[in-house]
Amino acid sequence: MRGRELRGELDAFLAETEQDLVAFRRDLHMHPELAFAEYRTTQRIAERLTAAGLTPSVLPRGTGLICEVGSGDGPTVALRADIDALPLQDEKDVPYRSTVAGVCHACGHDVHTTVLLGTSLFLAQQAAAGLLPGRVRLIFQPAEELPGGALEVMAQGGISGVDRIFGLHCDPRVDVGQLGLKAGPITSACDKLVVRVSGPGGHTARPHLTADLVFALAKILTELPAALSRRVDPRSSLSLVWGKVEAGTAANAIPDDGLAAGTVRCLDEGAWHAAPDLIKSLLESVAGAYGVEAEMDYTRGVPPVVNDEVSVEMLAEAAERVLGAGAVVPTQQSLGGEDFAWYLESIPGAFARLGTRSPDGVTYDIHQGTFDVDEKAIAMGVRVMAATALTALWEVGPLDTVTTTAMA
């Protein structure tokens, strides 16, 4: 019953605030801040939330904040936006171009932040009117690009007591007014691997008296990817690709050390968790066969974002309700990484792709100095996030009480 009124309430709210939200986004765009340095951004968000009667709490490092709307024993739904910019030059010729050399909101996090601010203000109104059937935790997360901000939020108890979490990301390949959704994995994992081999070294005339390090390194380069292709389920698309290799200085000398570096990409969460141990054991067995010592340095990126099916249904239902029929479009798993994945390792939730392309307009790519959005996406994002939070609360909450309160 409440669902039917929601669209009208959002229309009324956005008629008043959309211009202001666009101005807020442009201000952030002109003053981008890098991961864990988002002090000004954090202050701007905090000021606006405080002015709306909310009580934000800034994270201990002074960047990023968490704020709760609503009270009582009802369920808790979290909405997350990332607030950091990228170390890139802004190449656009627009009045709101970045004023900071070499720093740019080229991943659309200024839009995510503004969408969540608008959603917060709307939900604060709903709570004041007694229409919020539970609590919504607003997470303005720092340092997504590092990555690491999600882990910082979790270390501060940011998702404790949360039943379900939602987030979205600008997608310049989807038209404004549409929302890209997919159940299951929607982004990928990407880790970095460095292998160092060492041996006694010697003359190339006598490889049998030492360890033929270059030969062993070559075996590692080809055997590791080959063995992985037979030890890991092919559907996980785990792939190790080398980008750098170094060993030796002279044609007739066997060197005493060498190095290879590459990336491990993976579409599947289980395979991603198992990858370091498996690679380590394969490395040791290949190196051992040729008498060289091998050690590896494995740097974890982020796991894939794996969307919970029920949460995706909630997003779809909410988007149809407030954007209209046909607003939900399918989307594919990308090879990019996104640290929202860390939340979904602990609690159910889903991550959506917000259309930011003007119909028939240019398709900008993210992580480019030319990236920009159709600003109508901000209001669309507010509609979707607000409706999703309410949908999730209605579906897990004490529906009878809610209906009574709403109707009173």
Smallest gap from Cβ 263 to Zn ion, in A, equals 17
Among candidate residues 79, 21, 8, the one with its CA nearest the CA of residue 385: 79
Smallest gap from Cβ 243 to Zn ion, in A, equals 20
Among candidate residues 394, 398, 396, 397, the one with its CA nearest the CA of residue 1: 394
Identity of the residue, 314 or 354, whose beta carbon is nearer to Zn ion in the bound complex: 354
Give the residue nearest to Zn ion (CB).
Answer: 107
Smallest gap from Cβ 169 to Zn ion, in A, equals 6
SS3 312: helix
Identity of the residue, 90 or 212, whose beta carbon is nearer to Zn ion in the bound complex: 90
Count of residues in the chain:
408
Q: Tell me which H or E stretch contains 30.
A: helix 2-30
Smallest gap from Cβ 287 to Zn ion, in A, equals 36
For the segment 262-321, give every residue that binds Zn ion (CB under 5 A). none
For the segment 104-163, give every residue that binds Zn ion (CB under 5 A). 107
Smallest gap from Cβ 366 to Zn ion, in A, equals 6
Collect all residues with Cβ–Cβ distance below 8 Å to 364 and sequence separation of at least 6: 172, 357, 370, 371, 372, 373
Smallest gap from Cβ 297 to Zn ion, in A, equals 24
Identity of the residue, 107 or 117, whose beta carbon is nearer to Zn ion in the bound complex: 107
Question: Binding-site residue total for Zn ion (CB under 5 A)?
Answer: 1
SS3 330: strand
Residues 135 and 74: beta-carbon distance below 8 Å: yes
For the segment 79-108, give every residue that binds Zn ion (CB under 5 A). 107
| Measured distance between the N- and C-terminal CA atoms of the chain, rounded to whole angstroms | 13
Residues 257 and 213: beta-carbon distance below 8 Å: yes
- The residue written with tokens 């099916």 in the block is 309
| Residue 348: Cβ within 10 Å count | 16
Identity of the residue, 107 or 322, whose beta carbon is nearer to Zn ion in the bound complex: 107
Identity of the residue, 67 or 107, whose beta carbon is nearer to Zn ion in the bound complex: 107
Identity of the residue, 107 or 294, whose beta carbon is nearer to Zn ion in the bound complex: 107
Under the rule (CB under 5 A), what is the footprint of Zn ion? 107
